[in-house]
Amino acid sequence: MRYELYYWSGIQGRGEFVRLALEDAGADYVDVARERGDEAMEPFLLGDRAGLRPFAPPFLKAGRTVLAQTALILAWLGPRLGLVPEGAAARLQAQQLQLTVSDLVAEAHDTHHPLAAGLYYEDQREAAARCAAQFRRQRLPKFLGYFEQVLAQGDGQHALAAHSYVDLSLFQVVGGLHYAFPRAMRRLRPKLPRLHALAARVADRPNVAAYLASPRRLAFNEQGIFRHYPELDG
Amino acid sequence: MRYELYYWSGIQGRGEFVRLALEDAGADYVDVARERGDEAMEPFLLGDRAGLRPFAPPFLKAGRTVLAQTALILAWLGPRLGLVPEGAAARLQAQQLQLTVSDLVAEAHDTHHPLAAGLYYEDQREAAARCAAQFRRQRLPKFLGYFEQVLAQGDGQHALAAHSYVDLSLFQVVGGLHYAFPRAMRRLRPKLPRLHALAARVADRPNVAAYLASPRRLAFNEQGIFRHYPELDG
């Protein structure tokens, strides 16, 4: 099966969670918008293709299946790529954790765009400063403390009983948050030993390491979800 | 199977999407926090119970299964309550649509709390006014236009091939948005005939009608997700 991933070509964004799963599993996939431009997504987003229209990227095409929503794409790919433990209970837990990752990602995004994704950052800087302060003080420790506890209650090394797409996503979130909020994350780090150890282990997985060293891995940047604006880092 | 729904007792909130599915299906369920107080959720939220801790309400207990995240709870309940068409493809589509409903619900919430859920509305009124204006102009028509098109591409009456939990959620969203943004929604209404017809049909379903007329249905209020602040309605 050759998978087709559709996501904006210039950022890691939400597509990166799917990309990491495909890369870690060594799956055969095409990153369509990077190869053919963002306009390759249009027929799907405009509803000109058969099937359920995606509301937004990322979406994945696999044969005749076209699937949107990051957490759902991963839930679907997980068993196919060997990236979720066996059993209905483990798969539900994976989905629950991934949806909580999605909530954290949305809130991290909103720190720089609290008023509207359609306005420039420059037009909402004051609001962003207040939003980011609350995020750093309250939501960031709450979310990451939650995931740290999830790791502690399992085998200490994985979110589930074994390596999964959730671990890959936690790696991405920890990396993105360190990029966006280096000072806040340095302060939190002593309280999050398992999460940082997990991120380090994921980065060392051969396929992930090869991917991170390749030109396929874009750098974090100020068009993506995790943006480094020093004034938002306290 | 007696289901236990856990959600804040004073609001419809995200719990309402699950509640509507349980009510429509005539399921045997307990609304735990309404019967025993919000503190009944604490052992779960603090991680004092076995199994994966929910990050936030709502969560559902069914025997030994405890499941959080609204869209996932509905995906799990759907087949058990007869609220999703047969087949893997239909169930994936239901999940994709429900996750898009979740995104809309989160954005509707953020119109009155753009800076932080932990701050009072009164402390973010100016930001809320700007956020709500963008929401009314851009996001609201985009989301609802999407769902209108989904209905048009199917049988015109249902989000999927038959009645499902997605239809129940669309009813809730349309009702909540009319409560929060009556003027904006009146303007949009002519462009959304199928969505409004769907909402009317759902309200007439016998179990839903009985539920809406019962004291179990709380009124929309200004502690919930859909809040009516006239200054946010343009």
Residue type for position A138: Q
Residue A49: enclosing H or E segment and its boundaries? none
pTM of the predicted model, to two decimals?
Answer: 0.98
* CB contact A119 to B (< 8 Å): yes
CB contacts, 8 Å: A67 with chain B: 92, 96
Amino acid at A145: G
H-helix or E-strand spanning residue A68? strand A65-68
Is the separation of the CB atoms in A75 and A94 below 8 Å?
yes
Interface contacts (A, B; CB < 8 Å): 106
What domains can you pick out in chain B, each with its CATH number?
A: 3-81 (3.40.30.10), 88-205 (1.20.1050.10)
Burial A90-120 (b: 16+ CB within 10 A, else e): bbbbbbbbbbbbbbbbbbbbbbbbbbbeebe
Our measurement of the distance from residue B144's CA atom to the centroid of its chain's CA atoms, rounded to an integer in Å, reads 14
**In whole angstroms, what is the distance from residue B202 CA to residue B200 CA?**
5
- B100/A55 CB distance under 8 A: yes
Asked whether the predicted pLDDT for residue A173 surpasses 90, the reply is yes
State how far the Cα of A74 lies from the Cα of B71, in Å rounded to an integer. 15
Backbone angles phi, psi at B121, to 5 degrees: -55, -45
Q: Look at residue A43 and tell me whether its pLDDT is greater than 90.
A: yes
Structure tokens at B230: 């006239």
CB-based contact A115 B99, cutoff 8 Å:
no
List chain B residues with CB under 8 Å of A124: 130
Report the share of chain A in percent with pLDDT over 70.
100
Q: Within 10 A of A180 (CB to CB), how many other CB atoms are there?
A: 26
pLDDT at position B115? 96
Q: What is the pLDDT of residue B154?
A: 87
Chain A residues in contact with B135 (beta carbon < 8 A): 116
Question: How much is the pLDDT for B185?
Answer: 98
What residue has token string 């709390």? B113
Beta strands B65-68; B59-62: pairing state: antiparallel
Q: Which of A54, A92, A116 sits opposite B131 (nearest CB)?
A: A116
Q: Edge to edge, what strands does the sheet with B59-62 contain? A: B29-31, B3-6, B59-62, B65-68
Could you read off the pLDDT of B136-146 as tens digits, one per residue? 999 999 999 99
φ, ψ dihedrals at A59, nearest 5°: -140, 160
Mutation target among B80, B92, B123, B144 for the A interface, most CBs of A within 10 A: B92
Instruction: Supply A3's token pair.
Output: 């998978």
SS3 (DSSP) at B9: coil
The distance of Cα B123 from the centroid of its chain, to the nearest Å, equals 26
Tell whether B216 is within 8 A of chain A (Cβ). no
DSSP character string of B43-94: HHHTT-SSSPPPSSS-EEEETTEEEESHHHHHHHHHHHHT-S-SSHHHHHHH
pLDDT for residue B1? 87
The answer to whether B52 contacts A97, with C-beta atoms less than 8 Å apart, is yes
Q: Do A71 and B99 touch (CB under 8 A)?
A: yes
Phi, psi of B11 (to 5 degrees): -140, 160
- Cα–Cα distance measured from residue A143 to residue A170, given in angstroms and rounded to the nearest whole number: 11
User: Who's near A231: CB < 8 A, 6+ residues apart?
Assistant: A125, A129
pLDDT tens, A65-112?
Answer: 999 999 999 999 999 999 999 999 999 999 999 999 999 999 999 999
- Over the stretch B89-123, which tens digit does the pLDDT of each residue have? 999 999 999 999 999 999 999 999 999 999 999 99
At residue A51, the pLDDT reads 85
Task: Enumerate residue ranges in chain B where pLDDT < 50.
Answer: none
**Contact, A29 vs A64, CB < 8 A?**
no
ipTM: 0.97
Chain A residue with CA closest to B146: the answer is A55
Query: What confidence tier does A154 reach under pLDDT thresholds 50, 70, 90?
Result: confident
> How high is the pLDDT of residue A44?
96
Alpha-carbon torsion B116, B117, B119, B125, what sign? positive
- Listed in sequence order, the residues at least 6 apart from A79 whose beta carbon sits closer than 8 Å to its beta carbon are A91
At B194, which helix (H) or strand (E)?
A: helix B193-204
Closest Cα to residue A180, out of A215, A115, A132, A119?
A: A132
